[in-house]
Every structure is written in structure tokens, then in C-alpha cells.
Amino acid sequence: MTLTTESFDTLLHEVRQFIRDECMPFEQQIDRDDQIPEPLVQRMRALGLFGHSIPREYGGAGLSTEQLARVNIEVSQAATTFRARFGGNTGIASESLVVDGTPAQKQAWLPRLASGELTGCFALTEAQAGSDATALQTVAERDGDDYLLSGRKCFITNAPIAGLFTVFARTEPGTIGAKGISAFLVERGTPGLHTPPAYRKMGQHGSPVGEVVLARCRVPASAIVGHAPGQGFRTAMKALNKQRINLAALCVGPAIRLVDEMVGFASARQQFGQAISEFQLVQQMIAESNTEVHAARALVLETARMRDAGVDVTMEASMCKLFASEMCGRVADRAVQVFGGSGYIADNVAERFYRDVRLFRLYEGTSQIHLVNIARRTMARARAAEPALA
Ligand SMILES: Cc1cc2nc3c(=O)[nH]c(=O)nc-3n(C[C@H](O)[C@H](O)[C@H](O)COP(=O)(O)OP(=O)(O)OC[C@H]3O[C@@H](n4cnc5c(N)ncnc54)[C@H](O)[C@@H]3O)c2cc1C
């Protein structure tokens, strides 16, 4: 059951206040220190931000896809690192459990993810398995009632601080591609699981991303999501499909913020004896940005509503992620341009967002991978609609 419109409006208002009043003032400090102050994380927990997408019977808010998209558009108007702190728990790090977990697995983990007691992470990517995730080499070797996990995951958001890892590994030796992959729930502290320090990154400072090393890490067979060996890749794709709408919404928020920042700066900055906002070439950058924000927002919300209505939106979710992430990159680039030289200097809002949003075109499917998916599905639909030859 989802929230009533009235309760949702209250929740959205609370989130907006928190983001504007309590998070935005810390953006520069976090960008420099690469760390979110713990009292802010406590506030995120108290406000229930870790559990928005988790069903209400497990302690979450049970938001619909559309409601979650609207929250994401709000939270991402502050530096993207804030959302990255709790966003795994309301997306990719809990969704495998939500869609395919057994009742006992859901009971064991979802309340702790919803409260923010545990931070989750989704460990799929490996050095040789990025866009082609089915090339993963992490193996899970059967040993009595247990499995021994061995391998190395890279680029895993929140790995350095996570308490629960959804690890994808091959359980059927000799299989290739999507077959024979299983999703395991592994708790920090399990012997054989180790996380090296976080990488240094271009942006999204404060959001730790790192490796997960598995050295004959012993887990019971009951740790496989849904107790369904070999179904892990299907589970991953279900989680990623929803996540693409979430991520597209997260691209809209920064663009809204940057349009506001462009307008504010352009109105104040004087050149040639007048505000630069009077120049039509500057106005063009603002107008194009705002138009693209509007288009992306409409696309995301419409796709979210279709998903809530039970429509298969696999292709449309890909379109959302592609369009919104590319749009956000263009808006961030224009923002730097409107700010002029100051947009290139550290601590400028456009400079920071420019670095932060670059990631959106890379993870959860690069733009090229989404283009390939969209083309394939578009042509398949066209073929399906062709009349059969007699
Ligand atoms: C900060 C950060 C956080 C991340 N968080 C997570 C996480 O939490 N969990 C997780 O599992 N992963 C995570 N990732 C991994 C991310 O999803 C991958 O980096 C991404 O899928 C791309 O894989 P790759 O880096 O290996 O690039 P590659 O797949 O090697 O791609 C390199 C280039 O080749 C292009 N390319 C590849 N295949 C094709 C093709 N068929 N057609 C056309 N072009 C192609 C790509 O578009 C890209 O331009 C994260 C990455 C980063 C940087």
C-alpha cells in the first residue's frame, strides 16, 4: 500500500526543508573533506530517508515509483552525495530483496535497511565485467550446505561503509552469460569479505566507492536471494530496471538547481554596463536548459506512472536514463559557461555539479549501452507489429 496524497505531500515538504536548510549549507565542506558529517546521516535516518521505497510492512514508506521519482527530484537539488548516502537503501541495494527475497530474508534485512541501521550495496561490476556484466568471474563454490565466494568487485558505491552486500557470483561452473549467476546476501564481518579504502574520484565527494574482495568467503546456501540459484542475473536486471527511473529523476534535480543558479548569477553579473541576463546568447543557454529540464521531468514522471500501472517499461526506463543523464550533462556544461571563468574555479556551484553529474552518463548502463538497448527493443517491437506472412 502506498501513501495517501496528503501524507505524501507532508513527506515531500519535510524532505524539501531538510535538503534546503540542512544539507545545502554543507555542500562545499563535504566536497573538500570527502565526508558527510555523521549528525546529518543521523537526521537522514530520523527522517526515514533510507526506507522510502521499502514496503511499509518492513518499516519503509512504500512509495510508488512516481512518488519516489518526485522525492528524488527534490533531494538531488542538493549535491548528489547526500542522496548517494541513503539512495542505495531506497534503490539498488534493497530492490533485489524487495522483488525476489523470501519472506524470511525480507524480515531479516529490510527493516534494518529501512531504518538506516545498515547501509546496503549492490556488488555486480568487476574489472573485466562492466557493460558486459554477465562476464563476471566471481565464483561461488558449493561446500556442503554452504558456498565459498571468491572474486573481486570494483566500483561499488558505499562498499567501504556497507553492512550488507548483494554479491553476484557464478554458482554453476562452466556456464557463460547470464546463466548460472546467483545473488548472495553477505553481511560485513563474514570472514573472507574485505573492503579496501575508497577510491579518490572526480566528483560526488563524500560518497565512498570502492572494491569488495572475497577470499573463500563462506556463506550458507540460504543467503541466495529467493533461495533461487541461477536466477541472480534476472534479479539484478529487475532491480536495475526500476533504478533507471530513480536515476533519471536524480538527473533532473541538479539541472533544476543549475537553472536557478544560472538565472541568479546572470541577473547579478554585469558586463558592458548591463546584467549578462540581458544578452540573448546568455538567455538562450538558460532557455534551452529549462526546456530540457521540463522535457526530462515529464518523461520520468510519465514513465514512473506507467510502471505503477503495471506496464512493462524496460525500454522507456532506458530512454529516461539516457535522456535525463545526457540532459543533465548539457545543463551543467552550460552552467559553467554562464558563470564564465568563475565556473571553472573550485568551490563554484557549477564547477562542483559539472564534476558530480558526469558520473550519471557512466553508471547503471552507459549512454551507449542504453542506445543499443533502445534500438534493439524499438526494432523488435516493429517486427512484432508486422503482419505475419501467409
Ligand atoms: C563512481 C561509480 C560508482 C559505481 N557504482 C556501482 C555499484 O554500486 N555497483 C556496481 O555493480 N557497479 C557500479 N559502478 C560500475 C558501473 O556500472 C560501470 O562502470 C559501468 O557499467 C561501465 O562499465 P566499465 O566501467 O567497465 O566500462 P566499459 O564497459 O569498459 O565501457 C567503456 C566504454 O565502452 C563503451 N561500450 C562498452 N560496450 C559497448 C557496446 N556494446 N556498444 C557500444 N559501446 C560500448 C561504453 O559505453 C564506454 O564508453 C560504478 C561506477 C562508478 C564509476
- Give the tens place of pLDDT for each residue, 145-187: 999 999 999 999 999 999 999 999 999 988 989 999 999 999 9
C-alpha cell at 125: 561490476
For residue 261, the number of C-alpha atoms closer than 13 Å in the C-beta half-sphere is 27
Cα–Cα dist 266/288, whole Å: 15
Catalytic residues: 364
Q: What is the pLDDT of residues 181-226, one digit of tens each?
A: 999 999 999 999 999 999 999 999 999 999 999 999 999 999 999 9
Q: 57 CA to middle of ligand 1, Å? A: 35
Residue (of 349, 317, 304, 346) closest to 331 by Cα position: 349
- Phi and psi angles of residue 163, each rounded to the nearest 5 degrees, phi first: -105, -20
Q: What is the pLDDT of residues 2-19, one digit of tens each?
A: 788 889 999 999 999 999
> Span 350-360, mean pLDDT?
98
Query: Which ligand 1 atom sits nearest the alpha carbon of residue 121?
Result: 8
Ligand 1 pocket member 7 (CB < 6 A): no
Is the pLDDT score of 245 beyond 60? yes
Cα–Cα dist 218/149, whole Å: 6
Is the pLDDT score of 388 beyond 70? no
The pLDDT score that the predictor gives to residue 6 is: 87
Ligand 1 pocket member 366 (CB < 6 A): yes
Q: 133 CA to middle of ligand 1, Å? A: 9
CA-to-CA dists, residue 236 to 136, 169, 331, angstroms: 13, 12, 31
Is the pLDDT score of 390 beyond 60? no
> Span 22-27, mean pLDDT?
97
Q: What is the pLDDT of residues 256-307, one digit of tens each?
A: 999 999 999 999 999 999 999 999 999 999 999 999 999 999 999 999 999 9
